[in-house]
Amino acid sequence: MKDYDHQIIWLDYFNKNLSRKKGRKVGKNNSVYDPTMHELIDASKSLELDLSEENINNQARYPRRSFVKSGYIMISKKEKKSTIVNQIAKKMVETRQQRH
Above 90 in pLDDT, residue 83? yes
Distance CA 46, CA 29 (A): 20
pLDDT tens-digit series, residues 40-52: 999 999 999 988 8
pTM for this one? 0.91
pLDDT tens-digit series, residues 19-42: 999 999 999 999 999 999 999 999
Domains present along the chain, CATH in parentheses: 6-99 (3.30.56.30)
